[in-house]
């Protein structure tokens, strides 16, 4: 499959303000077809591999040991890992575990892998 090399400019162009904090985020589509808010700027500490597909959609998948980031992808942080509102008032979203920037990436990865990558067996 031919894909355009991910362009940070595309993600920036799609940026919107988070509804709960001042951060700029973009919405990517996961392999499961869900919408996932990501931080606009790439971050090597991120665990979400992002690329722009042939239709210009921002696609995201959670990296894992078996599926590391590929050359055409860029690593981003999922916004819920960095959202200031989520960290400040976890009670507002009881289903969201309070996360702390970057150090939380591993925990996010594990939970996201469970969620996004169904057991093939």
Q: Does residue 21 touch Zn ion according to CB under 5 A?
A: yes
The DSSP letter of residue 28 is E
Contact string (CB under 5 A) for Zn ion, positions 44-83, x = contact:
---------------------------------------x
Q: Does residue 99 touch Zn ion according to CB under 5 A?
A: no
Six-digit token string for 44? 């090597």
Q: Does residue 18 touch Zn ion according to CB under 5 A?
A: yes
Contact string (CB under 5 A) for Zn ion, positions 22-41, x = contact:
-x------------------
Q: What is the rounded distance in angstroms from the CA atom of residue 9 to the CA atom of residue 41?
A: 10
120 dihedral zone (left: phi>0; alpha: psi -120 to 50; beta): alpha
The DSSP letter of residue 121 is -
Binding site for Zn ion (CB under 5 A): 18, 20-21, 23, 83
């Amino acid at each position: 499959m031919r894909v355009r090399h991910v362009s940070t400019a595309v993600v920036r162009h799609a940026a919107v303000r988070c509804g709960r904090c001042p951060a700029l985020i973009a919405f990517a589509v996961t392999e499961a077809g869900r919408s996932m808010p990501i931080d606009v700027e790439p971050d090597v500490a991120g665990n979400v591999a992002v690329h722009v597909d042939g239709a210009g959609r921002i696609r995201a998948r959670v990296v894992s040991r078996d599926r590391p980031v590929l050359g055409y992808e860029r690593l981003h942080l999922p916004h819920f890992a960095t959202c200031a509102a989520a960290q400040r008032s976890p009670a507002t979203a009881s289903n969201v575990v309070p996360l702390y920037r970057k150090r939380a990436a591993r925990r996010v990865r594990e939970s996201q892998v469970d969620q996004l990558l169904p057991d093939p067996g």
